[in-house]
Amino acid sequence: MINTKSLTECALQLHKSIKFGKSCVRNLSVSQTKMSDIEKKFVLPKRFEGSEKSVWNEYIQLSLEYKPLNLGQGFPDFPPPKYVTDALSQVATGDNCMVHQYTRGFGHPRLIAALAKLYSKLIGRDIDPQTEILTTLGAYEALFSTISGHVDYGDEVIIIEPFFDCYEPMVKYAGGVPRFIPLRLKEEVSGRSISSADYILDKDDLERTFNCKTKAIILNTPNNPLGKVFTEEELSHIADLCKKWNVLCISDEVYEWIVYKPHKHIRIATLPGMWERTITIGSAGKTFSVTGWKLGWAYGPANLLVNLQIIHQNSVYTGVTPIQEATAIAFEKELTRLNDDECYFNSISVELEPKKNYIANFLQEAGMKPVIPEGGYFMIADWSPLESKVDLNSEKDKYRDYRFTKWMTKNVGLQAIPSTAFYSVPHKPLAENYVRYCFIKKDENLKQAAELLRKWKNGQK
Ligand code: PMP
Ligand code: GLN
């Protein structure tokens, strides 16, 4: 019979040993020894080691605790387009009760049809909705299925820094070896404002990173957190190396519609010889400003996509039917007006442009040095000129950008994300002077952020 009392004691002790660190485990009594066995046996499996910390979980908790004005995590704080939310309510309350049941595992038929229509136009080839598209639980799952489905033990995967933080653990979970290559700030930028275009990949470094063990490269354009939009020349260089070394290109294009004029988003799958070796990833969360919908997709040639389907069918199996149906309706509407100004894919960047300029100005006024993004809705800024106004010693974190952002959250009431979260350990020092602000926020909240910084600068806080 199970002794519930000792189980409760066990649980309590386990809780204590976790809370107070491993040292207390050594002093356990006989019944407590069991605890230490439990603890020993159920540690995180080795392959996941090193991925325990998440900047998102940490900073969302911080924001719940201190209730700052949150320019940290990337999500809009205003309503999505009305026709998008109308589509969801229409789906939820309409007559077709089947939208509340499981749908086709690799993608809801109405949605894959819409995605195939859209991307066939954009890529300039007929995309087969049945075999060349997979819908997923957010772009996260598309990344996970792509990486798990293609990376084998010992395979090298090139990751361009700064990178969206989940790439590194996902590659390691698959048994792969990440090879990092940082974008570097050009030398001749002093005395003028800096743009994300000033960050470039050193061609020789990149060439040296490819070798016969390279399985894939992960590209993110427009880039999170930098906002860099890769040029045709840069993409062609990456493409040539992928072809030379027979490498898969995993192209994370979740911000494909958020690009500021005169810059243009180029899909690497459209470059000569690249469709055959590219998986491109998108997100409804970014496309329609509904990050909570957690709907993503991957498209690419059937022979590459099948590996993702295998991972997906045995881990997730199928996506959320009503969300996929509503997103299909939203795409169908946009497909009728792709070249019009009102098309959300065209209007979103126009709407964000003044917000981008506004935040750049107030960060500058506060004494920071913002890096003007060419795309996406984040801005990184060099905060180091403000170092003397901040008590970095009051925070315990190893990296200065973590200490700065935590101090600002608690003392100024403004939250940002530390930039080192987007770098590998050896390259984190490159990013310690930078933090990332999200500007897809209501004007009144951006104004309030400006006000908080102004007051702080003038010593009123
Ligand atoms: N890639 C990048 C570059 C991102 O910024 C994000 C964050 N949304 C994702 C992938 C994941 O997207 P989703 O929320 O659709 O899972
Ligand atoms: N992509 C969003 C960002 O960069 C959200 C990330 C997340 O919540 N994991 O802020």
**Residue 295 CA, closest ligand 1 atom number:** 15
Q: Please state, in angstroms and rounded to a whole number, the distance separating the CA atoms of residues 311 and 102.
A: 18
Annotate 389-417 with DSSP letters as a single string: GS-GGGS--SSHHHHHHHHHHHHT-EE-E
Q: Please state, in angstroms and rounded to a whole number, the distance separating the CA atoms of residues 451 and 3.
A: 60
Mutate to test the pocket of ligand 2, among 56, 57, 70, 293 (most ligand atoms within 8 A of CB): 56
Regarding the beta carbon of 63 and ligand 2, being less than 6 Å apart is answered no
Q: Please choose, from the candidates 330, 442, 440, 332, the residue with its C-alpha nearest in 3D space to the C-alpha of residue 86.
A: 330
In angstroms, the Cα distances linking 440 to 155, 289, 351, 444, 445 are: 37, 9, 9, 12, 10
- What pLDDT score does 190 carry? 80
Q: Which two tokens stand for residue 67?
A: 């209730």
Q: Which two tokens stand for residue 203?
A: 């061609």
**Residue 223 CA, closest ligand 1 atom number:** 3
**Angle made by CA atoms 146, 151, 157, in degrees to the nearest 5:** 95
Q: Could you give the maximum distance between any two Cα atoms of the chain, in Å? A: 76
Q: Please state, in angstroms and rounded to a whole number, the distance separating the CA atoms of residues 148 and 28.
A: 41
Kindly report the protein residue whose alpha carbon is nearest to atom 12 of ligand 1. 139
- 291 Cα: distance to centroid of ligand 1 (angstroms): 9
Domain residue limits, the chain: 55-79+343-457, 82-335
Residue 259 gets which letter from DSSP?
B
Which residues contact residue 299 at a Cβ distance below 8 angstroms, ignoring those fewer than 6 apart?
115, 119, 127, 132, 133, 134, 279, 280, 282, 305
Name the CA dihedral angle for 132, 138, 144, 146, rounded to a multiple of 10 degrees.
20
CATH topology agreement for domains 55-79+343-457 and 82-335:
no
Regarding the beta carbon of 73 and ligand 2, being less than 6 Å apart is answered yes
Regarding the beta carbon of 224 and ligand 2, being less than 6 Å apart is answered yes
Mutate to test the pocket of ligand 1, among 220, 251, 254, 257 (most ligand atoms within 8 A of CB): 254
Alpha helices, H only, 108-154: 109-123, 138-150
CATH architecture of 82-335: 3-Layer(aba) Sandwich (3.40)
Could you say which ligand is closest to the alpha carbon of residue 283? 1
Residue 73 gets which letter from DSSP?
S
Name the CA dihedral angle for 207, 146, 163, 377, rounded to a multiple of 10 degrees.
130
Q: What is the pLDDT along the chain (461 residues), one digit of tens a residue?
A: 334 444 444 444 444 444 333 433 444 454 555 678 888 899 999 999 999 999 999 999 999 999 999 999 999 999 999 999 999 999 999 999 999 999 999 999 999 999 999 999 999 999 999 999 999 999 999 999 999 999 999 999 999 999 999 999 999 999 999 999 999 999 888 878 999 999 999 999 999 999 999 999 999 999 999 999 999 999 999 999 999 999 999 999 999 999 999 999 999 999 999 999 999 999 999 999 999 999 999 999 999 999 999 999 999 999 999 999 999 999 999 999 999 999 999 999 999 999 999 999 999 999 999 999 999 999 999 999 999 999 999 999 999 999 999 999 999 999 999 999 999 999 999 999 999 999 999 999 999 999 999 999 998 65
Name the CA dihedral angle for 159, 161, 165, 167, rounded to a multiple of 10 degrees.
-10
The CATH number corresponding to 55-79+343-457 among 3.30.420.40, 3.90.1150.10, 3.30.830.10, 3.30.1490.190 equals: 3.90.1150.10
- What pLDDT score does 349 carry? 98
Q: Please choose, from the candidates 55, 49, 75, 219, the residue with its C-alpha nearest in 3D space to the C-alpha of residue 143.
A: 219
* Residues 282 and 296 sit within 8 Å (Cβ to Cβ): yes
pTM, two decimal places: 0.92
Mutate to test the pocket of ligand 1, among 145, 223, 257, 283 (most ligand atoms within 8 A of CB): 283
**Residue 417 CA, closest ligand 2 atom number:** 10
**Residue 142 CA, closest ligand 1 atom number:** 16
Q: Please choose, from the candidates 217, 211, 208, 229, the residue with its C-alpha nearest in 3D space to the C-alpha of residue 178.
A: 217
- 191 Cα: distance to centroid of ligand 1 (angstroms): 34
- 379 Cα: distance to centroid of ligand 2 (angstroms): 14
Q: Is 219 strand, coil or helix?
A: strand
Q: Please choose, from the candidates 183, 238, 182, 184, the residue with its C-alpha nearest in 3D space to the C-alpha of residue 214.
A: 238
Q: Is 282 strand, coil or helix?
A: strand
Kindly report the protein residue whose alpha carbon is nearest to atom 5 of ligand 2. 74
Give the number of other CB atoms < 10 A from CB of residue 149. 20
Q: Please state, in angstroms and rounded to a whole number, the distance separating the CA atoms of residues 71 and 405.
A: 11
Phi, psi dihedral angles at 266 (to 5 degrees): -110, 130
